[in-house]
Structure 1
Amino acid sequence: MERLPLGHAGPALTRLAFGAAGIGNLLTPVGDEEADGALAAAWAAGIRSFDTAPHYGLGLSERRLGRFLEDRPRSAFHLSTKVGRILDPARGPIGSDLVNGFAVPATHVRRWDFTADGVRRSLEESLARLGVDRIDTVYLHDPDDHLEQALEEAYPALEQLRSEGLVGAIGAGMNHCAPLARFVRETDVDVVLLAGRYTLLDQTALEDLLPTATESDVSVVVGGVFNSGLLADPRPDATFDYTTAPAPLVARALRMQEVCVRHGVPLRAAAVRFALAHPAVTSVLIGARTAGEITDAAEQATRPVPDAVWADLRAQGLLPGHVPTPEGDH
């Protein structure tokens, strides 16, 4: 699978990356065997970029990913994790972490920490869970409500870690464009990770973030290209950004699906290929729980989408005329 470097000269990412929140039991339990199967299928498909975080299953995602990668050559894969949440041991009765979105025992509690010491502690604990001695990319994770501290304390700590060689590239990951654009303008990040805001249904990132990243030679990794389900399988009970999809968005997605089906391609293929078409986008991050999900995503990423699909989507007002699409990129 093709690889592109991050930012100015950072470590390379495969065009498709494996998002490991699902194998951290996001919303529903996933067994060890099933998680290993998903990772093995990603590897078999040529995916060599894996993204995780302490937040995902209170460290379960990192532990599972570390076990899978331990027998692979360290130079063969790109590994990213995140800082900003410290995992402290829970005191008192241990319940479920589903209130925070993960079907795991609540053995720990998350504590926001964007101090320099917090960044180093979080990274050290991630290295231990993953069983590696360096991380290729480290993101500040969801610093939306802690933006000033993240810029003034956490970011300089990451910059120092990069200069020490403990991490290869640094960045920030969020669901919102404006604060990521601020990181691009005000810091020397290599990459930003944006979830759900550059898709067939939501091109908010075109307003500021993507042009700014292009001008600054900062890479963008796009997650959530299916908007948490609606663009993978549009139907009335589908989810959009992890909540029930509004009826107008369902109708729009169904119209997009009709266009794709008429030209013999799945909507999923158009969703992945669309995100990859913007010149600022280095990689698309696909969250998967099963081997079938990630194998399908890899197939869609390389499936030719006829130019007529993009022309029809524009003609029906389903895509703005100015958005980049991969015409001729077959």
Structure 2
Amino acid sequence: MSHNTKVVLKSGLEIPQLAIGTSAFGGLFAAVSDSEVAQVVESSIEHGINFFDTAPHYGKGSAEKRLGKVIKAYPRESLVISSKVGRLLVKSNGGDDPGWENSDPLVERTFDYSAYGIEKSLEDSLKRLELERLDMVFIHDPDDHADQAITVAYPVLEKMRNQGLITAIGVGITTTAIPTRFVHETDIDVVLMALRYTLLDQSAALDLLPAALEKGVSVIAGGVFNSGILINPGKDSTFNYMPASPEIVHRAQVIQKFLSEHKTSLAQVAMQFPLRHPAICAVLVGCRSRDEVLQNIADFDTVIAEDIWLEIEDFLFSLPKI
């Protein structure tokens, strides 16, 4: 497995198997400096990773702005840039933004999956990124707006794709039922699925992944560490962006011990495991420093023998469902 192996979506867009998410650029959980943002982007590109995913939600636009400043130094055609629609950023009187340390204090988020909202969101993202077009656009977190997202938001993006304004359309979400609907009811190219095909949670295998495989829709796996616990599980770990319960911590530690006995690490297996499913084409990970980029590349590229994989999968699939 190699981090810069390229895969082609049904739209014809080519992406590397390892991609970079930019929630850290918005200060998710901890502040990140402009210098660190630049180092993440520069070191990723230096090592052949040219796909960066962002969103207005990340730091209320700050992630897009910071990414845009750095990628100006590179030829546009050499990069794959995706962002998301479904939230508008509107002026506010300021205030705290729990969980985000680099957030813009002068705006607030509001969900909007209307035709106007989709067009406005994309327009604003392009301004923040200082770009003229996006390669991929995801409808973001339509958990409580599925019908509108499918019948209103998607057709707007489909028209843009037909006009050549964007190359690929997707949905980005942390659940599986709604993206499964998108796969069956629309002509999306890709699903960005977070948290649901990991060492701790394989629930996407029940509905989304078989549907995507049948329809030829590519799936990108995000949140492969379940927000951190699958790097180094302990009492202060987070699981799916919440404090991890003792039961989840114990389960992660049991998996960690098993992998250690098989001469592999939790991080190595967590990054590579999603790609064992034929519906999943790439893995997206967040990085907040050059060192994290290099470590993620090393973990992703570590060769794990097929017989070891079979033992790992037998063990994982024998565990009780969470």
CA–CA distance in 1 between the matches of 2:169 and 2:112?
A: 17
Aligned partner of 2:167 in structure 1 is: 168
Task: Note the alpha carbon deviations across 1:30-87, whole angstroms, 9 max, x for none.
Answer: 1111111122221222111100001111111111111111121111111100001111
CA–CA distance in 1 between the matches of 2:89 and 2:316?
A: 43
Return the TM-score normalized by structure 1: 0.92
Structure 1: any 5+ residue segments left out of the alignment? 322-330
Q: Number of aligned residue pairs: give it.
A: 316
Aligned partner of 2:44 in structure 1 is: 42
Aligned partner of 1:326 in structure 2 is: none
Closer, same or farther in 2 for the Cα pair 1:153/1:269, shift >3 Å? same
Q: Which amino acid aligns with 1:112?
A: F
Task: Note the alpha carbon deviations across 1:222-270, whole angstroms, 9 max, x for none.
Answer: 1000001111111222111111212222222112212222232211111
Contact map agreement 1:55 1:85 (CA 8 A) in 2: yes
CA–CA distance in 2 between the matches of 1:134 and 1:122?
A: 13
1:46-195 alignment to 2 at 5 Å? 46-90=48-92, 92=93, 94-98=94-98, 101-195=100-194
Contact map agreement 2:25 2:102 (CA 8 A) in 1: no
Closer, same or farther in 2 for the Cα pair 1:314/1:152, shift >3 Å? closer
Alpha-carbon shift at residue 310 of structure 1 (Å)? 3.0
Identical residues among aligned pairs (%): 41
CA–CA distance in 2 between the matches of 1:132 and 1:123?
A: 11
Aligned partner of 2:303 in structure 1 is: 304
Q: Which amino acid aligns with 2:64?
A: E
Alpha-carbon shift at residue 311 of structure 1 (Å)? 3.9
Structure 2: any 5+ residue segments left out of the alignment? none
> Does 2:3 correspond to 1:5?
no
SS in 1 for 2:144: helix
Contact map agreement 2:62 2:104 (CA 8 A) in 1: no
Task: Note the alpha carbon deviations across 1:207-229, whole angstroms, 9 max, x for none.
Answer: 01000000000000110000011
RMSD over aligned Cα atoms:
1.5
Return the TM-score normalized by structure 2: 0.94
Contact map agreement 2:61 2:103 (CA 8 A) in 1: no
Aligned partner of 1:229 in structure 2 is: 228
Closer, same or farther in 2 for the Cα pair 1:10/1:320, shift >3 Å? farther
SS in 1 for 2:169: strand
CA–CA distance in 2 between the matches of 1:255 and 1:2?
A: 32
Alpha-carbon shift at residue 297 of structure 1 (Å)? 1.0
Contact map agreement 1:119 1:157 (CA 8 A) in 2: yes
Q: Which amino acid aligns with 1:41?
A: S
